[in-house]
Amino acid sequence: MVKNKKKINKNNKNDKNNKNVKKMELIKKRLIGSRFRYINEKLYKNNSEMSWNLFNNDPKLYTIYHEGYRNQIIKWPYNPINKIISWLNKHKEYFNIGDFGCGDALIAKTFKKYFITVLGHTANSNHQ
């Protein structure tokens, strides 16, 4: 009977550890989201020189921003890039396509044949 009690105690400890791990994961996701929102607000409230300096002074912000963006778009009803890709698919023969401020360069990856260049601070993709 003592052995069963030890098993129950171990299970309780494992349950507590799992709950703590889940809480930490949730906190980390929220932190990533808040950092993304902070950087995003800086970008749309300031001029391009200020934005350039922000990233130039701390290059890790590129990764933080794009990771936050990826986490954010899964919460949206749809990804606006997919709508753009859908429209471009219908009209691609009329355009040379560039991917500006590319992040993951999804447009560039989708339209390699029609693609000219990626312009952005960083391209988190090996599309070329």
Residues 86 and 60 in one domain: no
pTM of the model as a whole: 0.65
Residue 70 shares a structural domain with residue 85: no
What is the total residue count of the chain?
128
71 and 83 in a single domain? The answer is no
In angstroms, the CA 86 to CA 75 distance is: 20
Q: Output the domain CATH number for residue 62.
A: 1.10.10.2150
pLDDT 10s digits, 4-55: 555 556 666 677 788 889 999 989 888 888 899 999 999 999 998 999 999 9
Segment (H or E) for 77: none
Q: What is the residue range of 126's domain?
A: 78-128
Please state, rounded to an integer, the average pLDDT across all residues of the chain.
80
